[in-house]
């Protein structure tokens, strides 16, 4: 399925994010530019992912907006296996050096319990996530 053919089937907008189920079987979270994600944001996003995905589990593509970030409590919370019950794996698509540093810190220090990788190219993130789709 080419990127031009991918449609957003259902979406929910919450405070600083738009959560969508894509027609290729991935869940997508687009974080607004400049947003700082907190534990509360993560909990709201998780609830929205459960609603959009009707309680099923999906590989998750997080698209970071320009200058968006995450606080240390949110990173620690997100790394726990139970914090994201509707997520099979996470690909973070980043746009800046500071996000890359934050992402590497998260991966190395928080050691997320679910498969997690940081990408700078959307196509590579999508290809990596496809291996985690449940049939």
Over 90: is that where the pLDDT of 8 sits?
yes
26 by Cβ neighbours in 10 Å (0-12 / 13-18 / 19+) ranks as buried
CA distances from 24 to 41, 69, 98 (A): 25, 27, 30
Please give the DSSP secondary-structure letter assigned to residue 113.
S
- In the predicted model, what is the mean pLDDT of the chain? 93
Confidence of residue 134 (pLDDT cuts 50, 70, 90): confident
Considering the entire predicted model, what is its pTM? 0.91
Specify the pLDDT at position 135: 63
**In which element (H, E) is residue 38 found?**
none
Region for 80 from its dihedrals, namely left if φ exceeds 0, alpha if ψ lies in -120 to 50, beta otherwise: beta
Confidence of residue 81 (pLDDT cuts 50, 70, 90): confident
What count of other Cβ atoms lies within 10 Å of the Cβ of residue 15? 12
Phi, psi for residue 80 in degrees, rounded to 5: -70, 140
Cα separation of 119 and 104, whole Å? 11
Specify the pLDDT at position 44: 95
Answer whether CATH 3.90.1720 is correct for domain 3-129: no
Asked whether 25 and 58 are in contact (CB, 8 A), the reply is yes
Over 80: is that where the pLDDT of 27 sits?
yes
Whose tokens are 């996003």? That residue is: 45
């Amino acid at each position: 399925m080419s990127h031009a053919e991918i449609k957003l089937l259902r979406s929910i907008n919450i405070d600083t994010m738009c959560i969508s189920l894509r027609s290729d079987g991935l869940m997508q979270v687009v974080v607004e530019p400049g947003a700082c994600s907190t534990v509360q944001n993560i909990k709201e996003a998780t609830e929205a992912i459960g609603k959009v995905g009707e309680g099923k589990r999906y590989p998750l593509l997080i698209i970071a907006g320009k200058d968006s970030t995450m606080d240390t409590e949110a990173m620690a919370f997100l790394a726990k296996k139970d914090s994201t019950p509707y997520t099979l794996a996470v690909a973070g698509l980043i746009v800046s050096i500071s996000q890359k540093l934050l992402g590497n810190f998260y991966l190395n220090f928080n050691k997320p319990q679910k498969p997690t990788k940081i990408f700078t190219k959307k196509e590579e993130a999508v290809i990596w996530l496809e291996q985690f789709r449940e049939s």
